[in-house]
Amino acid sequence: MKMALIGGGGVRTVFFTQSLSKYAQRLGINELVIMDNDEEKLNIYGALAQYIASNNDSNIDIDLTTDIVSAVDKADYVVATMRVGKDEGRIKDERIALRHGAFAQETTGPGGFSFALRTIPVMLEYCKIIKEKSNNAIVFNFTNPSGLIAQAMHDYGFNNVIGICDGPVHLKSDIASTLQLNINDLYIRVYGLNHLSWLDSVKVKGTEIFDKLIANDAFLENSKEFGHFDKDLIRMIKAIPNEYLYYYYYREEALRNVLTSTYTRGEKVKEINDNMLKQLKDIDVKKNPEQALKVYYSFLEEREKSYMSIELRDKKKVSKPIEIEELGLDRAGLSEGSGEVLEGYSGVVFNYIDAVNKNKFIDLPLNVPNRVAIPELKADDVVEITCIVDKDGAHPVNVDNIPEDNLLLIKQVKRYEKLTVEAAKNKSVELAIQALMAHPLVGSYSLAKRLVNDYLKEFREYLGEWR
């Protein structure tokens, strides 16, 4: 079977290919085509990907191309991870919002809105080509804002798109590590929207332990994924928030930290990426691949450490283990070892494919249409939710009795998402303003109007003329 990676001239391509090379035979994938319209980056990161696959004794054939049609031709799976506007666009998204005193981030608030407007038309064209040329491929969308892009594609009739985010996966992995458990013995329930979700259930071999976990101070105070939230907040809402909810629960702190910083997250990432690329070009990846990999991994570590460091003022913690006996559980009957590690984005994709191929009935957090999972939402509303995956695909778990405050926030942000899709479809200034007015981090006509006008002016090259 064939997999295509669209946007493969990015930093994560090497990490993605490293994971794929481990599981390719098991998944039945023998061909990977890496596509990007930036030929220089494609050749550098693509060459590293080819080397690392061959170094893992993988039998997968890896080709590089700048042509979307040949990339997806007869593909069984397509992974989309694009940055329309590149790092420079991300920086402009952030700086325009900050200039107006609004919080800016690449998926949340005005920054995510601008990024989505640029991305939806490109993703739409690619999905048309995929529908025509591929082998009825499933499209795994990593492109941010992942849930909103998946919503747009489903609204356009492309029902083969699944949104992927590594946040809930990292959360599950973090909890398993903290409890010193095999991840396969753990079940978590997540519900909400992409970067706006909550975890409200943790089961070990079918035994619910969530209430005991949030009653444990050590568990709440020493988590890498959610230790920056006050434990009183978690106990008040009776759920563990996705880390991006920090921008809502601590809005003024996050905004103040970014405004007083000398650089934005986008500027920091661009600096790291530029320095990495410069050194890789100086090395000659094909002649000295091992030296290039050392450079790559060192910069990747620096990039990961910088994640949310500005907004949190370096409040990120290191998770500390606790004994499950403190929670009244016995290790008898539990699996030995840590279990198969879900390797970020790629782990979700590979586990999904494996579950469908082998009818394995595994639980994965995905961005898919709601159906009847959250009764208060529409069937076609794309939600981020725990799904049971089997040979027939993803089945969202039912979530009843969502706290009213959480449900109101979900509905408000979903209205923003749907309006953003309609604005992009109709190139409507009025709908774009309504979309940002609906967003809780904007919520003002005058601010929304200024933001929309500035984004449309700045990105006219990508967006064209709007009415």
Residues 261-286: tens digit of each pLDDT: 888 989 999 999 999 999 999 998 88
Mean pLDDT throughout 137-165? Answer: 97
Say which range, 69-73, 142-146, 331-335, 457-461, has the weakest mean pLDDT. 331-335
Residue 171, classed as helix, strand or coil, is: helix
Say which range, 25-34, 41-50, 165-174, 350-359, has the weakest mean pLDDT. 165-174
Which tokens sit at 165? 């985010």
Residue 316 has pLDDT above 80, yes or no: no
Ordered alpha helix ranges (H), 368-428: 404-426
Residues 174-222: tens digit of each pLDDT: 999 899 888 888 999 999 999 999 999 999 989 999 999 999 998 998 8
For domain 168-253+316-396, which CATH number applies: 3.90.45.10, 3.40.440.10, 3.90.110.10, 3.90.1580.10? 3.90.110.10
pLDDT at 182: 86
Residue 341 has pLDDT above 50, yes or no: no
User: What is the C-alpha separation between 225 and 223, in angstroms, rounded?
Assistant: 5
Which tokens sit at 459? 């990105």
Residues 121-150: tens digit of each pLDDT: 999 999 999 999 999 999 999 999 999 999
- Answer yes or no: are the C-beta atoms of 249 and 229 closer than 8 Å: yes
pTM over 0.85: yes
Ordered alpha helix ranges (H), 215-336: 217-221, 231-237, 246-249, 251-259, 265-283, 289-305, 309-312
pLDDT at 56: 77
Picking from 349, 449, 438, 443, the residue whose alpha carbon sits closest to that of residue 148 is: 438
Mean pLDDT throughout 239-262? Answer: 93
- What percent of the chain is helix, strand and coil (3-state, nearest 5)? 50, 15, 35
Residue 80, classed as helix, strand or coil, is: strand
User: What is the C-alpha separation between 26 and 63, in angstroms, rounded?
Assistant: 20
Mean pLDDT throughout 444-460? Answer: 98
- CATH 3.90.230.10 is the classification of domain 2-164: no
Residue 87 has pLDDT above 80, yes or no: yes
Of the pLDDT bands very low, low, confident and very high (cuts 50, 70, 90), residue 325 is: confident
Q: Which residue has the higher pLDDT, 75 or 346?
A: 75
Phi and psi torsions of 395, nearest 5°: -125, 105
Residue 342 has pLDDT above 50, yes or no: no
pLDDT at 50: 95
Mean pLDDT throughout 29-53? Answer: 96
